[in-house]
Chains A and B, each alone.
Chain A
Amino acid sequence: MVEASSVEIRKVNKYYGQFHALKDIDLTIPPGKVTCLIGPSGSGKSSLLRCINFLEEYDSGEVLIDGQLIGYETPGGRRMAPRRLRQMRSTIGMVFQQFNLWPHMTAQENVAEGLIRVRGMRKPQAMERAAEALTRVGLADRMGNHPSRLSGGQQQRVAIARAVAMDPRLMLFDEPTSALDPELVGEVLNVMKALAAGGMTMVVVTHEMGFAAHVADQVAFLEAGELVGVDVPSRILREPEDPRIQSFLRTYRERNVI
């Protein structure tokens, strides 16, 4: 079992210039559980996710990782020292829609990079550890490939291995399967399911309602920067009370009926 983090989001507000992208968001992400963020395009899912590791700075409110404020020294106070921020980020893994693998490094080097630069490991140990992480995502035979020589699904599994190799206590996923051809989605979701089964705290922005329904412990629905509802998937996906959620799910079903 990994040591898993909890996240507490309190009254978070985020503006892009005049545009109010996140409005008083309150959300508790329990340790060792999977939380899915769903909602229409532009509702603020990515923004909220990126506030959790402070890739996006929020303007007010608090984001607490295991009770520790991220990004600021005190709520509404000065920015936290870069060193502290880096240290907190190094325990939070992130997986992006576009994979964001470093194109000039092999799969194995991509995974080893953080171990060397952030964890201060020596290269041979880091490469060994990277090989283990890649083996766990089923890429033992592709370690020497550059990203351009990997399929989308393989690239995303390397990206997951890169995050997991750092021994994170929390993993953030921003639409990890949206850039993939349909037949490659399954292999990535399987890796994520295995992580979830291992007790990792996961926050997943996704359009995969199947994944949300079967793997998530809770689902949060956002619309126009507001958190409209949070509940276990069986309730929020099957019998939502809020009409905005009902209409979102109706559109989703219509689009996915063949």
Chain B
Amino acid sequence: MDLSIFTEYGPRLLAGFRLTIICWLLGTVFGAALGLLIAVAQRYGGRSVRWALQTYIELIRGTPFLVQLFLLYYGGPMIGLRLDPLPAGLLGLTIYGSPYFAEIFRSAFRAVPPGLIEAGRAIGMTELAIVRRILLPVGLVSALPALINFSIILTKETVILSIITVPEIMYQTQYMATMTFTFLEGYFTLALFFWAFVEVISRLGRRLERRITRHLIERT
């Protein structure tokens, strides 16, 4: 094993790690936000809104991420949507994740006891206040494990952005490996990075869950 390559390619790899984390973070946040919007619109929208959103969900879930990304990055310019690799990648991740997030939120909303909503209505709260003050906070708590789980899945999807030349960690590792023939060292480091990354997220996730559900658990 030749470790000297890390002194030469270290900065590139570090930049790659950073970009991967940024892509994951933004992809998760934007994807979850879009998913939340979809879930709320599905709950309150009319029949046609619900149908349109359901179709969107099925279309996105039914196609591979790579295909979506190529459509966006290589197909986009043909309809005037010219994006740089990074924005295209982030937009792709957001779109790719949104239906999964939407489904998570949708089932979490369904799990909110209707009585809690009725209590809000009976007291004269607006629907908007009910969503903000009751549906979202109560729903989020039950959605949390699934949200964390899917955000972990998304960490690993970020490597696909390398194919449209986003210089994230997969891209940088590939670059180093082909330049120096250090396939074993390079990809081993990459695997280690993802394992550690996921480990950190799931630990933080568990801590967050405990914090949030602390006072919700029935004392026995």
**A16–chain B nearest beta-carbon distance, Å:** 15
Total interface residues on A, using CB and 8 Å? 29
The answer to whether the Cβ of A194 comes within 8 Å of any Cβ in the partner chain is no
The answer to whether the Cβ of A157 comes within 8 Å of any Cβ in the partner chain is no
CB nearest neighbor in A for B215: A146
Contact assessment for B118 and A89 in the assembled complex, using a CB-CB cutoff below 8 Å: no
Partner of B125, one of A86, A94, A163: A86
Q: Contacts A86-B124, A89-B124, A90-B123: A96 and B141 contacting too (C-beta < 8 A)?
A: no
Contact assessment for B118 and A96 in the assembled complex, using a CB-CB cutoff below 8 Å: yes
Task: Spot the interface stretch: B75-83, B132-140, B183-191, B201-209.
Answer: B132-140
Contact assessment for A102 and B125 in the assembled complex, using a CB-CB cutoff below 8 Å: no
CA distance A159 to B122 in the complex (A): 12
CA distance A100 to B217 in the complex (A): 16
Contact assessment for A148 and B124 in the assembled complex, using a CB-CB cutoff below 8 Å: no
Partner of B115, one of A53, A89, A93, A98: A98
Report chain B residues within 8 Å CB of A92. Answer: 122
The answer to whether the Cβ of A62 comes within 8 Å of any Cβ in the partner chain is no
The answer to whether the Cβ of B58 comes within 8 Å of any Cβ in the partner chain is no
Chain A 134-173 interface 0/1 with B at a Cβ cutoff of 8 Å (1 = within): 0000000000001011000000000100110010000000
CB nearest neighbor in B for A101: B119
Chain B 194-220 interface 0/1 with A at a Cβ cutoff of 8 Å (1 = within): 000000000000000000000111110
CB nearest neighbor in A for B119: A100
Contact assessment for A118 and B125 in the assembled complex, using a CB-CB cutoff below 8 Å: yes
Report chain B residues within 8 Å CB of A90. Answer: 123-124
Contact assessment for A100 and B138 in the assembled complex, using a CB-CB cutoff below 8 Å: no
Chain B 103-144 interface 0/1 with A at a Cβ cutoff of 8 Å (1 = within): 000000000010110110111111101000110011001000
Contact assessment for B218 and A100 in the assembled complex, using a CB-CB cutoff below 8 Å: no
CB nearest neighbor in A for B137: A104
Partner of B138, one of A104, A159, A163: A104
Contact assessment for A118 and B119 in the assembled complex, using a CB-CB cutoff below 8 Å: no
Interface of B is mostly: helix
Which of B118, B119, B219 has its CB near the most chain A CB atoms (within 10 A)? B119
Which of A86, A96, A100, A104 has its CB near the most chain B CB atoms (within 10 A)? A104
Q: Contacts A100-B116, A104-B141, A117-B133: A89 and B122 contacting too (C-beta < 8 A)?
A: yes
CB nearest neighbor in B for A149: B219
Interface residues on B, range: 20 to 34
**B31–chain A nearest beta-carbon distance, Å:** 24
Contact assessment for B124 and A104 in the assembled complex, using a CB-CB cutoff below 8 Å: no
Contact assessment for A114 and B124 in the assembled complex, using a CB-CB cutoff below 8 Å: yes
**A79–chain B nearest beta-carbon distance, Å:** 14
Q: Contacts A117-B129, A162-B123: A102 and B215 contacting too (C-beta < 8 A)?
A: no
Contact assessment for A102 and B138 in the assembled complex, using a CB-CB cutoff below 8 Å: yes
The answer to whether the Cβ of A103 comes within 8 Å of any Cβ in the partner chain is yes
Report chain B residues within 8 Å CB of A117. Answer: 125-126, 129, 133
**B147–chain A nearest beta-carbon distance, Å:** 16
The answer to whether the Cβ of A55 comes within 8 Å of any Cβ in the partner chain is yes
The answer to whether the Cβ of A113 comes within 8 Å of any Cβ in the partner chain is yes
Q: Contacts A104-B138, A149-B215: A55 and B118 contacting too (C-beta < 8 A)?
A: yes
CA distance A53 to B118 in the complex (A): 11
CA distance A94 to B127 in the complex (A): 18
Report chain B residues within 8 Å CB of A103. Answer: 116, 138, 216
Contact assessment for B123 and A166 in the assembled complex, using a CB-CB cutoff below 8 Å: yes
Partner of B121, one of A55, A98, A102, A148: A55
Binding site for B on A (CB under 8 A): 53, 55, 82, 86-90, 92-94, 96, 98, 100-104, 113-114, 117-118, 146, 148-149, 159, 162-163, 166
Binding site for A on B (CB under 8 A): 113, 115-116, 118-119, 121-127, 129, 133-134, 137-138, 141, 215-219
| Besides A89-B123, A148-B219, A149-B219, 6 new A-B residue pairs in contact (Cβ under 8 A), listed by A number | A55-B121, A82-B127, A87-B124, A94-B122, A100-B115, A103-B138
Which 10 A-B pairs rank lowest in CB-CB distance, beginning with the nearest? A90-B124, A100-B115, A146-B215, A94-B122, A100-B119, A114-B123, A86-B124, A89-B124, A118-B124, A117-B129
